[in-house]
Amino acid sequence: LSPLLTPNPLPGPLYARLTSLVLKYHEFTATRTAYIHTLHLRYGPVVRVAPNEVAFASAAAVKEIYCSNGSGYDKTEWYDLFKVYDRRTMFTTLGKSEHAKRKRVLADRYANSNIMKGGIMEGIKERARTFRDLCEKRGKEAVDLYVILHAYAFDCVTLHLFHPHSTNSLTDPKDSEIMLEVTFDSSLQNRLLSHYSPLLHKLLNSFLSHILHLKPRETPLADNFVLNTALQTATFPFTLLHRLHHDLPPSASASLDQTDKAAECLDHMAAGIDTTGDALCFLIWELSQPSSMQYQRRLQEELRRPADDNTPIEKLPYLDAVVMEGLRMFPAIPMSLPRYCPKEGRKIDGYEIPGGTIVSCQAYSVQRLGHGGVFPEPERFWAERWLRSEGETQEEFEERDRERRRHFFAFSQGGRGCIGKHLALAEMKCLLREVYSRFTTLPDPGMRVEEMEMADLLVSSRPAGQRCLVRFEKLES
Ligand code: HEM
């Protein structure tokens, strides 16, 4: 993009044509998502946010950027920030063909049919019961959901990756230490500086770490846990590790060494902790508010029907609506997923975008702004929007539902969308079922509203206060 004038000037603030400093300021202060959303509210679904960067917030742009030719445009070097053991994983490959090769090898372990198999579902349910028992034991004392939900997500993802070498951080303090190390990461500014200015980062490294306490990402416990566990060859057939050790096609077997396998596992483990943990945390917090008590009651009704104890989770429509609405309002990865516009340039959402421009959509905005009122009253938590409303025919409902799902971007879309989606949904639903078939949840009066505001990390966001105190009141049996 030319810095000042283009024949088809893009909407956006004037300064964004000249400098990326304002955008970077918001990245460094963990407010990028909210800043871009404010720009969308002001300028519409297409906004230039920096001289070479444009943000979009429409279903048409999602389709073009993330789904054209299957997996959309190539990723930018932003993803170098997520390299593991200095290797590229499926998530950090930039180009399409390299990504497709890796995905072919791993995808079957994440298929819904594999997740719904006895081994994984039983394991998830068992962990949800452990979670429930811990909450029950606290009696009238508040539970810090932020920590305990990260523990639950950690134990579920390691089940899928490594069982029987999975963790038990909900009850074992040694495993809990690994989870806490990953969860309370505070490396945002240090990592951003290393990305934008490696030289400055090198010069200031010890000042940043020791004086400003802006540490690099260091997770020695998690690194060692995965390096050691990934050597295990006796694992359950449903695990990713089993696939990596025993079921790889010969071509993939030759190209993946032990470090690649460990890197892939560590990446998936990290991808599965904060995301599912925070999505559940924001959702339970919302359901606990007085304004959402009606949704909590309706959910309890569905889950407490006697016959429903054995109903498969995918057959509980209100539970599904609550989870969808939670992920719409509080997507754990709410931020821009940056891609390069292909070199010949493309027309996106009515604008000619030159090749090499960084383009992106962010779930937070796509799921609020939807054209044509696809999400009426977008700031209101309203689970019923996902259900057929009174007076609506089945055809009308299906058409509206298709439109809503075109605007559902919490797991991204296309070939590079979340591979762990079915696992995450199963974890979320099993946990909510255990909680709301037995308890009412209420916010602890000691919590301040600001503590649950969104604080950005590199792509995911977490509650700013890094705690979420909730009380569990037992329902009459
Ligand atoms: C509510 C929970 C989750 C949400 C909202 C979520 C969201 C996402 C999103 C938006 C992406 C695309 C990121 C990008 O393009 O930069 C992604 C990718 C990915 N997710 Fe998830 N995720 C969740 C849970 C999980 C879980 C449980 C796993 C399990 C291992 C997982 C593994 C991955 C992996 C490996 C990728 C990279 C896929 C690829 O590049 O092909 N995610 N996720």
Render 313-380 in DSSP notation, one character per residue: GGG-HHHHHHHHHHHHHS-SS-SB--EEPPTT-EEETTEEE-TT-EEEEBHHHHHHH-GGGSSSSTTS
The model's confidence at residue 5, banded by pLDDT at 50, 70 and 90, is low
Residues 6+ apart with CB under 8 A from 140: 471
Cα separation, 395 vs 398, in Å, equals 5
3-state secondary structure of 55: strand
Q: Classify residue 300: in a domain, yes or no.
A: yes
Q: Mean of the pLDDT values across residues 25-41?
A: 96
Q: Classify residue 9: in a domain, yes or no.
A: no
Q: Classify residue 357: in a domain, yes or no.
A: yes
pLDDT of residue 6: 57
Q: Classify residue 1: in a domain, yes or no.
A: no
- State the distance from the centre of ligand 1 to the C-alpha of 84, rounded, in angstroms: 16
Q: Classify residue 4: in a domain, yes or no.
A: no
Q: Mean of the pLDDT values across residues 20-47?
A: 97
Q: Classify residue 47: in a domain, yes or no.
A: yes
Name the residue range of residue 397's domain: 15-474
CATH number at residue 460: 1.10.630.10
Strand partners, 441: 472
Query: Are the CB atoms for 329 and 454 separated by under 8 Å?
Result: no
Query: Are the CB atoms for 424 and 272 separated by under 8 Å?
Result: yes
**Predicted-complex ipTM score:** 0.99
Chain Cα centroid distance, residue 272: 8
Residue whose CB lies within 8 A of the most ligand 1 atoms, among 266, 275, 339, 365, for a mutation test: 275
pLDDT of residue 33: 97
Q: Is the pLDDT of residue 93 over 80?
A: yes
Q: Which residues are annotated as a binding site for heme?
A: 418
- State the distance from the centre of ligand 1 to the C-alpha of 120, rounded, in angstroms: 18
Q: Classify residue 8: in a domain, yes or no.
A: no
Taking only the tens place, the pLDDT of each residue in 147-206 is 999 999 999 999 999 999 999 999 999 999 999 999 998 888 999 999 998 888 888 877
Q: Classify residue 7: in a domain, yes or no.
A: no
The residue among 392, 400, 347, 354 whose CA lies nearest residue 373 is 400
Instruction: State the total domains in the chain.
Output: 1
Half-sphere exposure in the Cβ direction for 430 (13 Å, CA): 25
List the residue whose alpha carbon is closest to atom 16 of ligand 1: 337
Express as a percent the part of the chain with pLDDT over 90.
Answer: 83
The model's confidence at residue 4, banded by pLDDT at 50, 70 and 90, is very low
Strands 143-144 and 346-348: unpaired
Cα separation, 70 vs 269, in Å, equals 26
Cα separation, 367 vs 386, in Å, equals 13
pLDDT of residue 314: 87
Name the average pLDDT for the chain.
93
Taking only the tens place, the pLDDT of each residue in 219-271 is 999 999 999 999 999 999 999 999 999 988 887 877 899 999 999 999 999 99
What residue has token string 């505001």? Answer: 453
Q: Mean of the pLDDT values across residues 381-391?
A: 96
What are the tokens at 148? 């305990």
